[in-house]
Amino acid sequence: MTKKSKEGLSVKKEENFSEWFSQILEKAELIDLRLNMKGFMVFRPLAAMTIENMFKLFEEELQKKSHKPTLMPLVIPEANLKQESSHVKGFTPEVFWLKEIGKEKLALRPTSETLYTPMFKLWVRSYRDLPLKLYQRGSVFRLDTKATRPLIRTREIIWIEAHDAFATKAEAEAQVQEDINTTEKIMHQKLGIPFLAIKRPQWDKFPGAEYTVGSDVFMPDGKLIQQPSTHLMGQKFSKAFEAKFKNIKGKEEYLWTTAYGPAMSRILASIISTHGDNQGLIFPFCIAPTQTIIIPIYNAQNKNKIIKESNKLKEELNSIGIRTEIDASEKRPGEKYHYWELRGVPFRIEIGEKELKTKKVTLSTRNIKEKETLSIKKISKLKELGIKFDTQLKEKAEKFMKERVINSKTKKEMINVIKDKKVARVNFCSTDKQGEKCAEIIEKEINAEVRGTLANKKEKATGKCIICGKPAKEVVYVGKSY
């Protein structure tokens, strides 16, 4: 094996996505699995810094929308977890139970409805205290017994979870739409990851919720991965915990609650998969830990001068908010280029004797692999180019998604769409209990799932259900998922 193949990727994304993804995690030094704990990962600096930048974007947006940060315990008492019956039934197989301490049995939190709702009971007295919109960043733990996959399917999920309380169902449902909007503004518009906001069928909703909306993102292997989900909890948890408030007439009512959970670790998987290429990662400019790398080109005679000018340029870029580093190592320039391409840095600046004479640096843009010259006096233009960079990533991802949703009028057409690693849009009888049998047929015969209906757009069904032939009530999306 050559030195280049050891350091770079040895497979192509379009030929073997699974191996490509595994190699990127290892060779770009994102994740280390050598602690040998199934479903748990060590996040190396590049991944940790990227996730921190993602947290900042989501938290800034949540706080703009009146959410306040909190910190909740990592553990939940057994009594709390079992308070809402359908919730505990849905999560019991996935709970990490801790050793009993005296008579108390605790679980690592799989999610935090049973922590926040008891506090809502204490913190909310009347309608004047509402709405109450809170969130925390941290980890949740789920004892997933299926095959785990780094970032995609794990036992520790690094995320934000928002839990909100309202006086009316209408306000709670408006919050669900606001959560979809938050996902749109950050994951799609900022990070360049388009999605389908899908209201899940009743048989696939979050345990204890009235309904669930998931953000389905397309992966290069034809599968869908669920990204931020939002749930209308209704009054189920407030009734379980007796969380009430006095309305404007002084009458007691139960709170209406919602929950929203963007998982940074999972979204990172989509960023890697959507934007990366056969040279490695391509990070959106807005979250790249290093937005610009400076490569000094020097010889023994001019090394000190070139390094000095490179440092001046680095300081100028950092001063205007562009995260910049210098690679002054003794590697050959070509080795440096490959190293930083693998790690997804949006821009590379080469500066040598020629650049100092012309007062123009050579600028390489990672996603389009083009070089241009840029006046050192106009180096602040990189901010503008960074916005353009992210727009190009987003538009490419949108085109990829658009090509993968295919209308299917017959069962045979649906089967062919799934075989072609795409998603079928079909007429369907129902996403409540009566449609579950048709969904089971789809899962059994073609190993795909009825994901649900669009949550932010009403689509009118026509004709008959693609499976049972009964009058269609819904337009649903069918695909394979992780």
What is the Cα–Cα distance from 326 to 87, expressed in whole angstroms? 51
What is the Cα–Cα distance from 111 to 91, expressed in whole angstroms? 9
Q: What pLDDT is attached to residue 3?
A: 43
What's the CATH number where 224 sits?
3.30.930.10
pLDDT in tens, the chain (482 residues): 334 446 789 999 999 999 999 999 999 999 999 998 999 999 999 999 999 999 999 999 999 999 999 999 999 998 898 887 677 677 767 899 997 777 788 999 999 999 999 999 999 999 999 999 999 999 999 997 777 899 999 999 999 999 999 999 999 999 999 999 999 999 999 999 999 999 999 999 998 899 999 999 999 999 999 999 999 999 999 999 999 999 999 999 999 999 999 999 999 999 999 999 999 999 999 999 999 999 999 999 999 999 999 999 999 999 999 999 999 999 999 999 999 999 999 999 999 999 999 999 999 999 998 899 999 999 999 999 999 999 999 999 999 999 999 999 999 999 999 999 999 999 999 999 889 999 999 999 999 999 999 999 999 999 999 999 999 999 999 999 99
Q: What pLDDT is attached to residue 379?
A: 96
- Are residues 155 and 266 both part of a single domain? yes
Boundary-marking domain end, from 275, 308, 330 = 275
376-396: per-residue pLDDT in tens?
999 999 999 999 999 999 999
Q: What pLDDT is attached to residue 93?
A: 73
What's the CATH number where 330 sits?
3.40.50.800
- Are residues 367 and 410 both part of a single domain? no
Q: What pLDDT is attached to residue 2?
A: 37
What is the Cα–Cα distance from 220 to 401, expressed in whole angstroms? 10
Question: For residue 19, what is the enclosing H or E element?
Answer: helix 17-27
- Are residues 150 and 204 both part of a single domain? yes
- Are residues 370 and 221 both part of a single domain? no
Q: What pLDDT is attached to residue 173?
A: 98
411-419 vs 436-446: helix crossing angle, rounded to 10: 50
Asked if residue 245 belongs to a domain, the reply is: yes
- Are residues 186 and 40 both part of a single domain? yes
The first and second tokens of residue 10, run together, are 């040895």
- Are residues 145 and 237 both part of a single domain? yes
Q: What pLDDT is attached to residue 6?
A: 63
Asked if residue 39 belongs to a domain, the reply is: yes
The label of the residue with tokens 């009235």 reads 210
Asked if residue 392 belongs to a domain, the reply is: no
Asked if residue 309 belongs to a domain, the reply is: yes
Boundary-marking domain end, from 242, 275, 308 = 275
Asked if residue 286 belongs to a domain, the reply is: no
Strand partners, 218: 224
* Beta strands, E only, 404-465: 405-407, 423-428, 449-454
Q: CA end-to-end span of the chain, whole Å?
A: 33
Provide the whole-model pTM: 0.95
Are the C-beta atoms of 397 and 275 separated by less than 8 Å? yes
Boundary-marking domain end, from 351, 384, 417 = 384
**Domain limits at 298?**
292-384
| Residue 41, phi then psi, degrees to nearest 5 | -135, 155
- Are residues 271 and 303 both part of a single domain? no
Asked if residue 66 belongs to a domain, the reply is: yes
- Number of domain units in the chain: 3
- Are residues 198 and 300 both part of a single domain? no
